């Protein structure tokens, strides 16, 4: 029993290390390049690899595993936009300055979230539109990406990213199993446990990226934080609803709604000239925890 606990802790530690290596290797490799559009186009597919491993392993781990997969992918935007954004705002201590790329990412996230609620409550197959919308967003993003020219790329540091991918591939199954075990101990739904715990670990690339990218422009720091939102709120939940019935507890639906509201606040913050999200981030997180207890 004790050995199993040690192995689970070791697996989580390796999972966290793999999450950090993902963004670190890319930052060092593209150290002298402006990669704003790269962050919006390709970076999310790399930084969401932790969710992908949990998602895949979860789907093949029975009903409880599927619940873990559901909570992990839906909890990622919530954790990034509350805990992650709060940490970033404590660091910069001023209102965010959004640009066309960040606004496009946030608007796409809001639209896919609206389609999620329509799909969940009205017509399940409307979830296909979530995937279509994401493809359209990617098409627009890649047109901007073509204008970026990366010349002096350092390839050796990409070994960190490769090592991160390997670690995540190996430890993903243990993270799913450990989450199911923890849910049983707490007598709670696996989706609720994974909604909070797994994103706190798997969102390490997104939360750490602004600090890893501390020498870069602010628009790249913001991009690294929010670029994954359209992907995590379109492809993963869209596939879950298309592949079968999806059961989402009310607290998770509340968390999605909170994240949508936070997106509007981010877009309004620069015009207001006030550090609104510093307070809304922690306020929303506390309100969610209170709602979870109730």
> Is residue 16 exposed (0-12), middle (13-18) or buried (19+ Cβ within 10 Å)?
middle
Using pLDDT thresholds of 50, 70 and 90, give the confidence band for residue 141: confident
Residue 116 is predicted with a pLDDT of: 95
Residue 257 is predicted with a pLDDT of: 95
Strands (E), 11-69: none
3-state class (DSSP) for residue 93: coil
d(C-alpha 56, C-alpha 30), whole Å: 30
How far, CA to CA in Å, does 82 sit from each of 30, 226, 234, 273? 28, 11, 20, 20
Residue 155 is predicted with a pLDDT of: 76
d(C-alpha 180, C-alpha 70), whole Å: 13
Task: Give the rounded distance of the alpha carbon of 261 from its chain centre.
Answer: 16
Residue 70 is predicted with a pLDDT of: 85
Residue 233 CB contacts under 8 Å (≥ 6 apart), including other chains: 74, 77, 109, 112, 113, 116, 130, 256
Residue 226 is predicted with a pLDDT of: 86
Question: In the predicted model, is pLDDT for residue 146 greater than 80?
Answer: no
- Ramachandran angles phi, psi of 17, nearest 5°: -60, -45
Question: In the predicted model, is pLDDT for residue 164 greater than 70?
Answer: yes
Better-scored residue on pLDDT, 75 or 91: 75
Tell me the whole-structure pTM to 2 decimals. Answer: 0.87
Using pLDDT thresholds of 50, 70 and 90, give the confidence band for residue 205: low
């Amino acid at each position: 029993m004790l050995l199993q606990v040690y192995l689970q802790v070791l697996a989580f530690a390796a999972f966290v290390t793999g999450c950090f290596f993902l963004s670190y290797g890319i930052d060092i490799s593209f150290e002298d390049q402006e990669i704003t559009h790269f962050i919006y186009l390709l970076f999310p597919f790399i930084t969401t690899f932790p969710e992908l491993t949990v998602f895949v392993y979860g789907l093949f781990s029975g009903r409880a595993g599927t619940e873990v997969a559901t909570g992990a992918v839906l909890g990622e935007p919530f954790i990034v936009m509350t805990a992650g954004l709060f940490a970033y705002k404590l660091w910069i201590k001023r209102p965010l300055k959004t640009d066309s790329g960040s606004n496009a990412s946030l608007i796409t996230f809001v639209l896919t979230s609206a389609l999620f609620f329509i799909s969940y409550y009205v017509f399940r197959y409307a979830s296909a539109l979530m995937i279509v919308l994401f493809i359209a967003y990617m098409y627009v993003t890649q047109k901007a990406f073509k204008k970026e020219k990366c010349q002096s790329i350092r390839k050796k540091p990409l070994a960190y990213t490769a090592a991160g991918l390997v670690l995540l591939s190996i430890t993903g199954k243990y993270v799913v199993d450990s989450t199911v075990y923890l849910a049983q101990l707490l007598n709670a739904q696996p989706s609720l446990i994974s909604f909070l715990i797994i994103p706190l670990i798997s969102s390490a690339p997104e939360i750490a990226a602004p600090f890893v990218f501390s020498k870069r422009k602010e628009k790249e720091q913001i991009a690294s934080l929010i670029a994954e939102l359209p992907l995590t709120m379109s492809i993963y939940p869209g596939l879950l609803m298309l592949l079968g019935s999806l059961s989402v507890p009310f607290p998770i639906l509340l968390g999605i709604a909170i994240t949508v509201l936070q997106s509007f606040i981010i877009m309004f913050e620069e015009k207001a000239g006030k550090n609104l999200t510093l307070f809304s981030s922690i306020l929303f997180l506390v309100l969610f925890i209170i709602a979870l207890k109730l």
